[in-house]
């Protein structure tokens, strides 16, 4: 059986510097997720700065979109998570400047792990990549402080 490490995170998101969704990160993607039932969704239009081969979107950007979406859907459960494992299946390359839609949903919620899935498509629904991930549920620093205070009361 795998040992899941205890991870404590600072979950103060007010600084807004997350590369995927931070509104204050000058080089970030600035993704804005919308929850629709059990799914979250965001759009992103990459430009030439996001290319790998000339004119084609870099695969790492596609992975970042998927990781961000799957982490965000796990966050909607009230848990703070870190990606423990992720698999991506590319269906086709995509040109820069094409608007992409990234969606994610939860496939299983266990005590310490949330399993998620996601996909990146063109606006017409053409699938670019699909992914699955396992997210470690971590404790945040604020919760630890509350627990520590309760122990001493």
CATH number, position 122: 3.10.129.10
- pTM for the predicted model, two decimal places: 0.85
Total count of domains within the chain: 1
Give domain status of residue 121, yes or no: yes
State the residue range of the domain holding 127. 15-151
pLDDT reading at 151 higher than 90: no
Interval 39-49: pLDDT, tens: 999 999 999 99
Percent share of the chain, pLDDT over 70 = 82
Give domain status of residue 21, yes or no: yes
pLDDT reading at 65 higher than 60: yes
pLDDT reading at 147 higher than 80: no
Give domain status of residue 1, yes or no: no
**Mean pLDDT lowest for which of 24-28, 111-115, 137-141?**
137-141
How far is residue 33's CA from residue 112's CA, in Å, rounded to a whole number?
24
pLDDT band for position 13 (50/70/90)? low
Give domain status of residue 29, yes or no: yes
Give domain status of residue 7, yes or no: no
pLDDT band for position 5 (50/70/90)? low
**Residue 27 CB: number of other CB atoms within 10 A?**
8
Helices assigned H by DSSP within 19-92: 59-75
How far is residue 1's CA from residue 86's CA, in Å, rounded to a whole number?
19
Give domain status of residue 8, yes or no: no
- pLDDT at position 139, please? 73
Q: Which run of H or E residues covers position 142?
A: helix 141-151
Paired sense of beta strands 80-90 and 113-122, if any: unpaired
Give domain status of residue 10, yes or no: no
- pLDDT at position 2, please? 65
How far is residue 137's CA from residue 141's CA, in Å, rounded to a whole number?
13
The answer to whether the CB of 79 falls within 8 A of the CB of 114 is yes
Give domain status of residue 9, yes or no: no
């Amino acid at each position: 059986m795998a040992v899941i490490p205890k991870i404590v995170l600072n979950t103060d998101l007010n600084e807004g510097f997350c590369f995927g969704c931070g509104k204050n990160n000058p080089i970030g993607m600035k993704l804005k997720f919308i929850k629709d039932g059990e799914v979250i969704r965001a759009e992103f239009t990459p430009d030439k700065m996001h290319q790998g081969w000339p004119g084609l979107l870099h695969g790492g950007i596609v992975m970042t979109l998927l990781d961000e979406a799957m982490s965000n859907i796990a966050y909607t459960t009230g848990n703070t998570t870190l990606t423990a494992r992720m698999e991506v299946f590319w269906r086709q390359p995509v040109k820069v400047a094409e608007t992409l839609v990234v969606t994610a949903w939860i496939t299983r919620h266990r005590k310490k792990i949330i399993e998620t899935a996601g996909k990146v498509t063109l606006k017409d629904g053409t699938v670019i990549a699909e992914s699955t991930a396992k997210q470690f549920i971590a404790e945040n620093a604020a919760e630890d402080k509350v627990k520590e205070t309760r122990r001493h009361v």
